[in-house]
Amino acid sequence: HLGFFSLVVGVDTEASDFFGSFVQDPETGKYVWNDGPLLLAFRHNVPLYVDEIFLCDTRVLSATLYPAMDGRTTMTVPMNPSLGSIDIPDGFYVIAAGNPNVPGASYSEALRSRMNHQIEVTTDWDLAKSLGVPPDVVEVSRALDEERAEGLLTWSPQLRDLLEYRDAVGTYGQAFAVADLMGKTPFDDRDVVGGALSKMTGKPVRALRMGRQCKRRR
């Protein structure tokens, strides 16, 4: 196995999502044990990638990932003692991603101290242009992001928003795409973002909304 195993976690993630669980065989009706991604990563000696890790309950991480990240050589699985002592490969490591600013996120000291390298991933504006995002909206977004970094805004368009804008322009035109982008903007930031987009287009910008009722043809 040359890749890695992965798991997307959240507030409802349990230890069994990491370790595995007993699953009923539809043919025999018996329950058999299925390894979870953490044990599979051990057995194949590959990394484990955990997405949205800041949303996972710290108590779950303490019972699953933390022991494997503390230099231990073996681990046991409480829900299946018959597995015995499971070897943790030398050099095993965890790759994790998440947004520490989303509601409910917990970037605890315990987690921070276990991650050897911590990299902030920001939007690559040149990449956005190379992917076909119109240069004018890229420059507007870059300027808005600088204001966000200074604390003047809570939100600014990032790469995912710009790619959606690119697709909307290609399908429905700029007016629709700009209005759609305004709809993604938090209400507290709409005056500033709307002003920047209005300056870019030369027209007032409003978020998408329902139009008037169409008259029925007789």
pLDDT in tens, 33-76: 999 999 999 999 999 999 999 999 999 999 999 999 998 999 99
pLDDT at 6: 97
With tokens 């991603």, the residue in question is 97
108/114 Cα distance (integer angstroms):
10
145/157 Cα distance (integer angstroms):
7
Tokens of 38: 């953490």
Q: Is 35 helix (H, G, I), strand (E, B) or coil?
A: strand
Mean pLDDT of the 193-209 span: 95
Q: Are the C-beta atoms of 5 and 40 separated by less than 8 Å?
A: yes
CB-based burial of residue 178 (10 Å sphere; 0-12 exposed, 13-18 middle, 19+ buried)?
A: buried
Please say if the pLDDT value at position 218 is more than 70: no
pLDDT at 184: 95
> Which of these ranges, 37-46, 154-163, 205-214, has the smallest mean pLDDT?
205-214
199 vs 67, 126, 194, CA distance in Å? 54, 22, 8
Contacts of 10 (CB under 8 A, 6+ apart): 52, 55, 56
pLDDT at 214: 77
Residues paired with residue 95 on neighbouring β-strands, in sequence order: 49
Model-level pTM greater than 0.85? no
pLDDT at 1: 61
Tokens of 213: 């009722």
